[in-house]
Amino acid sequence: MFEKTQKKLINFLLLVDLTKMKHHIPSDFSGVVRVQNRRVHKLAKKAYKIPFYKERFDKAGVTPDDIRCGDDLTKLPLLTKEELRAWMKEEDKNPKYKDWYHDTTSGSSGVPLMVLVSPREKAYNMANWFRVLLIAGYNPFLGKTMSRMSAHSVTGEHQAFFQKLGILRRGFLNQYAPEEDMVKQVNDYQPDLLYMNKTELMRLALYCKQNKVKIHRPKFFCPTGEKIDDVARTLFKEIFGPNIIDSYGTAETGACMVKLGEATEYTVHNDSFVVNTYDDNDQPADEGKIVVTPLYKTDLPLINYVVGDKVSSVVRNGVRFVSGVQGRMNDAFKYETGEVTTFFEIAPIIAHCEDVLQIRFVQEDYKNILVQCVHSDEEGARPIKEIEKDLTEKLNAKFKHSFSIRYEWSNVIPPDDNGKLRMIVCKVK
C-alpha cells in the first residue's frame, strides 16, 4: 500500500535501519543472540500467516510457538532454489507486488532467479551492506568508493548534491576497458574503497603483477560475487594492500557474514541472519551445505534457504562461526566409486604453491583432470615443469584414486559463461 512512498524514502529508511544495527563485531554475543531469538520467533509468526509457509509448517507438524531460536529452524524443511523460483513466479502474478523490487540473481548456480523484495526490506538490505563496511572500519558516507559499472551507474559528471559536499562519493570503474585503462581510472580517482566482482579484480591484479604496474592501494577493497580462495587472497593483498573485506552472501539473502583482514573465520550478522549447516542427508552438522535465514525478510520470507555452497563451521557458546567456504556444491572431484574429493581437501596444497597466481581444475572424466594455471614471473619462481611434477605428486597423494593430470598455462584464466570463476569444474555427469 505504501510501497511507492517507501521507494522514494528508501535512503532515509536505510539510515533509520543502520542506526539500529551493531557496527562492530561484539566480544560478547549474548545480547546479539537474544535479539536473534526474538526475531526468529517474530519471523515464524509472520510466516505462518502466508499460505506457502503455513503448508510447510503443518507438514512438519510445527507451530510458530515451536520456533524460538535459530536451532529451532531445523524443525522446518529446507527451501531449495527450485521451490523459491516456483513460489516467486506464482507470487509475481499478484498485482499487489507491482511497486516491489524484482531482484534477479546472476545465475551462477544455473538459471537466474527473480526474487520479490518490498521497498522496506530493500532498504534494510542496503543498510546491512553499509554495516559491513562500517564493521571493517570504512565510512561509506565520508569515504570515496569505486565500484564496477552497472546498468544504473552514473559518471562523476552528474554528481548528486550530497556528493558535491563530499558525502557518499562514488566513482565507477569500467570493467570492460583494457587493463591499462582500468589502472589509470583507479589511479586518477584514488578510491578509499574499491569493490568489484572477484574475477574482474583478479584480472586487474594479474595485470599489475605480471607487468610490474603500480596501482593505487585503497584503504579497503572488497571482491564480490564469488568465493575468495587462498591463492586469490594472497595476490589481492600483495597488489591492493592488507585490508580485504570478505563479505559472504547472495542477492537473495543479502550479506550474512564477514571475514576481515587476517581473520580465520567468518562472523555471522546474528542480529539479522541465522546460518545453519546440513550434511548430505539434510541433517544438522558442522560441515556441509550452508542454509541461510534472513530475519529481516518477513514480507515474503526465506526460511532455511539452501544457498548452494558448502562450508566448514564450528559452534562456540551457542554462536556459529564459519571457517571455510567451498563454493558451489557440484564443485568436487568425482570417482566411479561414488566417492568425492572436495576443494577443502586439496586447498592446503594450493595455498602453499606460491609460484601459481591463479588456478582452476577441470575434471573431464573419471580419469583425466586439466589444471589451468597462471605462472608467477617473480624472480626465484620455480620452473613450470617442476611445479607440474610437484603438484601432480601432491594432488594424487590426496585424491582417493589417481588421475592423469595435464596442465594448461596462460596469462589469465577466463571466467565461466556467467562471468564467475569456479575453482573446480566437474564435467562428470
What CATH architecture applies to the domain 29-113+258-316?
A: 3-Layer(aba) Sandwich (3.40)
Distance CA 25, CA 269 (A): 9
Residue range(s) occupied by CATH 3.30.300.30 in the chain: 332-426
What are the backbone angles phi and psi of residue 254, rounded to the nearest 5°? 90, 175
Joined together, the cell numbers standing for residue 164 give: 558535491
Task: Kindly state the greatest CA–CA separation across the chain.
Answer: 67
What CATH architecture applies to the domain 125-249?
A: 3-Layer(aba) Sandwich (3.40)
Q: For the structural domain made of 332-426, what CATH number should be given? A: 3.30.300.30
pTM: 0.80
pLDDT tens-digit profile, the chain (429 residues)? 688 899 989 989 999 999 999 899 998 999 999 999 999 999 999 999 999 999 999 999 999 999 999 999 999 999 999 899 999 999 999 999 999 999 887 655 555 689 999 999 999 999 999 999 999 999 989 999 999 886 544 444 445 555 666 677 899 998 878 889 999 999 999 999 999 888 889 989 999 999 999 999 999 999 987 778 788 888 999 999 999 999 999 889 999 999 998 899 999 999 999 999 999 899 999 999 999 999 999 999 999 999 988 899 999 988 999 988 876 644 679 899 888 887 767 877 887 788 898 889 999 999 999 999 999 888 888 999 999 999 999 999 999 999 999 999 999 888 776 566 778 889 987
Residue range(s) occupied by CATH 3.40.50.980 in the chain: 125-249
Contact 267, 25 (CB under 8 A): yes
Specify which residues 288 forms β-bridges with: 311
Contact 277, 320 (CB under 8 A): yes
Distance CA 206, CA 350 (A): 17
Residue range(s) occupied by CATH 3.40.50.12780 in the chain: 29-113+258-316
Amino acid at the residue 245? I
